[in-house]
C-alpha cells in the first residue's frame, strides 16, 4: 500500500540549509490551521475549532520532498484588533517619518511588550517580517468588511509577496467574486482557491506554482516538491483503486458449496457464512482505505458516508439498501428470495446446459476439462454453489467508488458535514460490468490469497478496466 508522506519534525534538517519560510496569516477563524493540516495530510497539527482565537502562538511545520526539507509553514494567531493595530502603526509613522513601511512594522514589534493588548498582533507581524512569502487565508463566507481590507494593507507594509487563499469556496461562488473584485483594488491578482474541506490535489499544486512565480530563487526546490507530491498522490490513488478491485475480485470469486441433497437449514447456514465473508471483506477494505489516506471513521462520518466506529451503518444485505444506491430492486425480486439476501445459486458454477457441457468436452477435450473440470463435474453430481449475486457486487463497487471519491477530495481539517446530495454521489458501473463479473465468477482461483493470477493477462486487463473506472479515466 502507498501512504502519503508527511513530516513535521525539523530537528534533522541539515545545518545551513535555507528553507523557504511561509507565513500563514489572516483574521481569526478563517482556516489558517486547517490549510496547514490539509497540506500536511494530517489532522494532528495544531487545534481546529469553530471559534475565534484558537491559535495563540506561532507554530511551525516542515514539508518535505522525500528526505529533502523544502519549506517551513508558520501558523500564526489571528489578527483580532486590526483598528488598534492600525492606530499604533500610524502613530509610529507620524513619529518616525523617515522609516520605510517594513521598518515601521519592525519598530512596532520591538516596542510591543509581553502582555500588551496588541501582543498577539506583534507575534503575527514578527513572523511576517521573518518570512519569504505570506499566504493570506480568506473565509469567502464572510462579507468584505473594512477590517479585512485594513489587514491586507498592513500586511502589504512588510514588502513581502502575498498570495490570498480563498477558503470555503465550494458553495459560495458569488461571495468569491466579490472578494476578487476588492483585492483587485490593491493590485492583488495572484490569488488561489484552496478549499480545506473540498480538497483537490490540483489546487495544492497550483499553490506551489504561484510561489514559484513569485520567488525565482526557490523555483527548482519547489518543482522537486511538486513532482514528488504528484508522484506520491498518483501512487496513493492507484493503490487505493487496486485495493477496491481486490475486494470485488475476492467477493465475485468466492463460493460456498452445497448440493441438491442438503436440507434448507444447511443451505441457510451456507448463505449466512457467505454473507459474513462478504461483510468482513468489505470491512477490511474500508479500514485499509482509511489508513492509506490517513483518515479515521470520524472524518468519513462528517462526509455523510454511513460509517460509524469503523463500520458501515447500512448493512450490505439490509432491506432497502439496493434502492438507496439506485439499483434495480425489481430485477432482484424476480430472481427469487435468495436474491433478496444478496445470494445467487449457481448449478455447476457456469451457465452451461448439459448439451453445452458434453459438446465442450467432445470438441476441445482435455484442455477444456482441465479449465472447467470442477464446474463440469459439479454439473453431473448435482453440486451447487452459493455466491454473491449481481446486485450485491454492484452495491459493493458503488459503495467503494463513493468512498474513494470522498477520500480523494477531502481536506484533513473539515469540521462540518458535507452537503452534497446523495443523488450526486451515486457513481456509474464500469462499461462491460456484467461481462467482467462473469469472467471473475468463472475463475474462482483468482480469489485465492496466493495472488498468482496477477500475472494472468486476462486478470490484468480486468483490473485495469476497473481501476480506470474508479479513477475516472476514459
Say which residue the cell 495472488 belongs to: 451
Closest CA to 25 of 141, 185, 162: 162
* Domain locations in the chain as residue ranges: 20-214, 241-470
Give the pLDDT confidence score for residue 44 in this predicted structure: 66
Give the pLDDT confidence score for residue 438 in this predicted structure: 87
Do the beta carbons of residue 69 and residue 61 sit within 8 Å? no
Give the pLDDT confidence score for residue 265 in this predicted structure: 52
Question: HSE-up of 433 (CA within 13 Å, CB side)?
Answer: 14
Reading the chain (474 residues) residue by residue, the pLDDT tens digits are 333 444 444 444 444 468 999 999 988 888 888 888 888 887 666 444 444 444 458 889 999 999 999 999 999 988 889 999 999 999 999 999 899 999 999 999 999 998 899 999 999 999 999 999 999 999 999 898 899 889 999 999 999 999 999 888 877 888 888 898 888 887 777 788 888 777 788 999 999 999 999 999 999 999 999 999 999 999 999 999 999 999 999 999 988 877 655 555 556 777 788 888 988 999 899 889 988 988 776 665 545 555 555 556 566 666 556 666 666 544 443 343 333 345 555 543 333 333 333 444 344 444 444 444 455 445 444 566 778 888 889 889 998 998 898 888 876 655 544 433 343 455 689 999 999 998 898 888 888 766 777 788 999 999 999 999 999 987
What topology is assigned to 20-214 in CATH?
Rossmann fold (3.40.50)
Give the pLDDT confidence score for residue 237 in this predicted structure: 96
Give the pLDDT confidence score for residue 474 in this predicted structure: 78
- The 10 Å Cβ neighbour count of residue 343 is 25
Closest CA to 27 of 149, 127, 176, 109: 149
Amino acid at each position: 500500500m502507498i501512504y502519503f508522506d508527511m513530516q513535521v519534525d525539523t530537528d534533522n534538517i541539515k545545518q545551513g540549509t535555507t528553507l523557504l519560510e511561509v507565513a500563514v496569516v489572516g483574521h481569526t477563524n478563517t482556516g489558517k490551521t486547517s490549510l496547514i493540516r490539509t497540506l500536511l495530510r494530517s489532522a494532528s497539527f495544531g487545534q481546529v475549532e469553530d471559534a475565534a482565537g484558537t491559535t495563540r502562538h506561532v507554530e511551525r511545520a516542515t514539508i518535505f520532498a522525500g528526505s529533502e526539507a523544502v519549506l517551513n509553514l508558520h501558523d500564526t494567531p489571528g489578527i483580532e484588533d486590526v483598528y488598534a493595530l492600525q492606530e499604533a502603526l500610524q502613530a509610529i509613522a507620524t513619529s518616525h517619518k523617515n522609516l520605510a513601511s517594513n521598518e515601521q512594522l519592525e519598530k512596532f514589534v520591538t516596542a510591543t511588550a509581553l502582555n500588551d493588548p496588541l501582543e498577539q498582533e506583534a507575534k503575527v507581524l514578527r513572523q511576517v517580517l521573518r518570512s519569504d512569502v505570506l499566504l493570506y487565508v480568506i473565509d469567502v463566507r464572510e462579507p468584505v468588511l473594512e477590517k479585512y481590507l485594513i489587514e491586507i494593507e498592513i500586511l502589504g507594509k512588510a514588502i513581502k509577496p502575498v498570495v490570498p487563499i480563498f477558503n470555503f469556496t465550494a458553495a459560495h461562488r458569488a461571495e468569491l467574486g466579490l472578494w476578487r473584485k476588492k483585492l483587485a483594488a490593491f493590485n492583488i491578482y495572484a490569488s488561489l482557491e484552496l478549499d480545506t474541506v473540498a480538497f483537490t490535489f490540483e489546487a495544492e499544486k497550483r499553490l506551489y506554482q504561484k510561489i514559484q512565480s513569485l520567488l525565482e530563487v526557490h523555483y527548482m526546490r519547489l518543482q522537486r516538491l511538486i513532482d514528488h507530491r504528484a508522484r506520491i498522490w498518483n501512487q496513493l490513488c492507484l493503490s487505493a483503486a487496486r485495493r477496491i478491485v481486490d475486494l470485488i475480485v475476492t467477493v465475485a470469486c468466492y463460493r460456498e458449496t452445497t448440493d441438491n441433497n442438503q436440507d434448507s437449514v444447511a443451505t441457510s447456514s451456507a448463505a449466512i457464512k457467505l454473507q459474513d465473508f462478504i461483510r468482513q471483506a468489505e470491512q477490511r477494505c474500508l479500514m485499509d482505505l482509511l489508513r492509506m489516506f490517513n483518515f479515521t471513521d470520524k472524518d468519513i462520518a462528517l462526509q455523510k458516508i454511513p460509517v460509524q466506529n469503523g463500520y458501515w451503518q447500512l448493512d450490505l444485505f439490509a432491506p432497502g439498501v439496493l434502492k438507496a444506491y439506485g439499483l434495480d430492486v425489481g430485477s432482484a425480486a424476480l430472481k427469487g428470495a435468495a436474491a433478496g439476501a444478496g445470494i445467487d445459486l449457481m448449478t455447476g458454477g457456469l451457465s452451461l446446459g448439459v448439451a453445452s457441457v458434453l459438446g465442450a468436452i467432445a470438441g476441445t477435450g482435455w484442455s477444456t476439462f482441465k479449465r472447467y473440470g470442477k464446474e463440469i463435474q459439479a454439473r453431473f453430481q448435482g453440486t451447487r454453489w452459493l455466491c454473491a449475486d449481481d446486485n450485491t457486487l454492484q452495491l459493493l463497487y458503488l459503495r467503494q467508488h463513493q468512498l474513494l471519491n470522498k477520500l480523494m477530495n477531502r481536506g484533513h481539517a473539515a469540521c462540518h458535514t458535507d452537503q452534497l446530495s446523495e443523488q450526486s454521489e451515486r457513481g456509474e458501473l464500469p462499461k462491460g460490468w456484467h461481462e467482467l463479473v462473469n469472467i471473475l465468477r468463472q475463475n474462482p482461483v483468482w480469489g485465492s490469497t496466493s495472488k498468482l493470477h496477477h500475472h494472468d493477462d486476462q486478470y490484468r486487463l480486468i483490473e485495469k478496466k476497473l481501476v480506470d473506472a474508479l479513477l475516472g479515466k476514459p
